[in-house]
Amino acid sequence: MIRTCALTSAGVIKYDLSLRSLKKPDIVWYWVDFDQPSNEESQLLSKHFRFHPLAIEDCLEFVQRPKMDFFDKYVFIVMHYLNQKTLSPEEVDVFVGSNYIVTFHKKSVRGLNNTWARVRKDTALQQGPMTILHAVMDQLVDDYFPPIYRIEDRLNEIEEATDSDSSVSDIMDEVFDIRSDLSKMRRTVLPMRDLLYRILNSERIAHVNDQKIYFQDIYDHLLKITELIEANREFTSDIRDNYISINSDRMNSIMMTLTVITTIFMPLSFIAGLYGMNFTNMPELRGHYNYFIVLAVMVLISIGMTLWFKKKGWFRFSKRSKL
């Protein structure tokens, strides 16, 4: 679908004018939005607007990082926003000329629709293409915060609840997936940040100076988002490292239990086995008190082993380490 919106010299916002009529002299500026355009509609980028083939190629394929290209009479900007469900980047392409702005996107963009609806009422938005660009971009960037805060909350939950019911390998898998999501976001946010930096410092964008403080506000948000992403990535690796070191401790405790039990009972069982042998001539078996002597020896062995482990500090350690 292609929809249009224009400010007439009478100061009125008109929607749904034809592309032709947008070029009439009483149009102060206009905005054309390619909203999930069909192939035929997409061809208007070249047929009607005569944009550069490389820019059009960038619109039609999705292999672009956020960026800004300068052409003679317009600026071409590629922006990303975060699909709130998949946390994958989606693309919005923008052409900004002196008196027009053209937006192009293959999916419906909530933030852009909001702006579209607000143009009619909000006179601040009616100042021209750069204001529209700022309004759209501001909303796309604001949408990065909720998923990051959701991730941060989830990581805090995971960190606190190490004794929850869910399987540990499930938790590791979730931490791993969160790491992937953060990487994916970072790949989108870093070039967005660079894009804003260029917009702020470029001498070639008309009118941006008047609006610098507004784009600076978006840039602030992107800096903040970058920091949140980095902090949360560090958080995931800390959780993993923490988990591994606690696990290694737990393993020590388990192996100590096993070793203590084995080391005490193996010699005892051997002695029992020894006197269970059926040799016809085993003099020890015949003494009246020998059974009790052997029992006493077994008790002494147990006590000796226990003292030895105590001296080596195994019991203290075993107590110290929680499962």
Binding site for Mg ion (CB under 5 A): 58-59, 62, 91, 138, 142, 173, 177, 217, 221
Question: Which part of the chain contacts a second copy (CB under 8 A), choosing from 28-36, 96-104, 111-119, 232-240?
Answer: 232-240
Retrieve residue 232's tokens. 């949360």
Of the residues 26, 157, 210, 227, which one makes contact with a second copy according to CB under 8 A? 227
Residue list 91-150, contact with a second copy (CB under 8 A)? 145
In the complex with a second copy, the residue whose CB is nearer, 10 or 63, is: 63
Secondary structure (DSSP) of 32-91: EEEES--HHHHHHHHHTS---HHHHHHHHSS-PPSEEEE-SSEEEEEEEEE-TTT--EEE
Name the binder of 179 from a second copy, Mg ion, none, CB < 5-8 A by kind: a second copy
Residue list 275-304, contact with a second copy (CB under 8 A)? 275-282, 285-291, 294
- Cα separation, 149 vs 155, whole angstroms: 10
Binding mask 25-54 for a second copy (x = CB under 8 A): ---------------------------x-x
State the DSSP code for 144: T
- Cα separation, 155 vs 147, whole angstroms: 12
What 3-state class would DSSP assign to 206?
A: coil
Of the residues 127, 154, 265, 301, which one makes contact with a second copy according to CB under 8 A? 265
In the complex with Mg ion, the residue whose CB is nearer, 30 or 134, is: 134
CA distances from 226 to 134, 138, 222, 279 (A): 20, 16, 6, 81
Name the binder of 183 from Mg ion, a second copy, none, CB < 5-8 A by kind: a second copy
Retrieve residue 153's tokens. 């909350």
Residue 19 interacts with a second copy (CB under 8 A)? no
Name the binder of 62 from Mg ion, a second copy, none, CB < 5-8 A by kind: Mg ion
Question: Which part of the chain contacts a second copy (CB under 8 A), choosing from 23-31, 92-100, 125-133, 247-255?
Answer: 247-255
What are phi and psi for residue 288, nearest 5 degrees? -65, -35
- Cα separation, 243 vs 106, whole angstroms: 43
Name the binder of 254 from a second copy, Mg ion, none, CB < 5-8 A by kind: a second copy
